[in-house]
Structure 1
Amino acid sequence: MTETSEWRGQRFVLVLYVILVALAGTFGFIIGLVRPKDLDPKLFMLVDLPPNAVGMALYGALTIGTILGVLLLAVRYIANEYDTVENRG
């Protein structure tokens, strides 16, 4: 595998990550505009956020960004840890 193809894969995952976080923020903003009943966003079950469009956008983007970020870092660590010369084939 060449250095260029590795960067293309990492860049694709990074762009996909940014798109998904932006979508979560956008949908949170839209939900905040609609304001359903009993809307009480709590960031990581610790920080109370305002039940408006900006609060919901922050909630969506930060929650999805953190969850996906941790999962992607775990996958990257495991892939680098167990990538050996024999497996590159």
Structure 2
Amino acid sequence: MSETPTRRGQADYSGRSVVFVIYLVAVGIAGVMGFLLGMVGPNALRSVRLFFLIEMPPTPLGLAVYGMVTLATILGVLLLAVRFIARRYG
């Protein structure tokens, strides 16, 4: 009897799923912006290095991958740190 009643036809969203969706949307936006930046001005851009190891060309695909991987890594580490702290000191 500890179940919480929900309204019929309405989904029950947890905090984790909302944060995960926001994470995916932010990474997707970074990819789109990188792609658009690569389309607009590849002549004025120089290549970037992903994690200081892999050189990415200033093409639409290269900049999209660079933006998505960089943002996914930074936000992923921050979210894992918040999760660890919340479990440890919650």
Residue number among 32, 43, 46 corresponding to 2:38 in the alignment? 32
Tell me which protein shows more helix as a share of its residues: 1
- Specify whether residues 3 and 25 from structure 1 end up closer, same or farther in structure 2 by C-alpha distance, changes over 3 A only: farther
Computed over aligned residues only, the root mean square deviation of the Cα atoms, in angstroms, reads: 2.0
TM-score normalised over the length of structure 1: 0.82
TM-score normalised over the length of structure 2: 0.81
Asked whether the equivalents of residues 46 and 57 of structure 2 are also in contact (C-alpha less than 8 Å), the reply is no
Q: Whole-Å Cα distance in 2 between the matches of residues 63 and 42 of structure 1?
A: 10
Asked whether the equivalents of residues 49 and 55 of structure 1 are also in contact (C-alpha less than 8 Å), the reply is yes
Structure 1 segments of 4 or more deviating over 4 A? none
Which residues of structure 1 form unaligned runs of 5+? Answer: 84-89
Which residues of structure 2 form unaligned runs of 5+? Answer: 5-12
Q: Whole-Å Cα distance in 2 between the matches of residues 38 and 61 of structure 1?
A: 18
Q: Whole-Å Cα distance in 2 between the matches of residues 3 and 45 of structure 1?
A: 50
Asked whether the equivalents of residues 21 and 61 of structure 1 are also in contact (C-alpha less than 8 Å), the reply is yes
Identity %: 47
Deviations 1:19-45 (A, max 9, x none): 000000000000000125132121112
Greater Cα radius of gyration, structure 1 or 2: 2
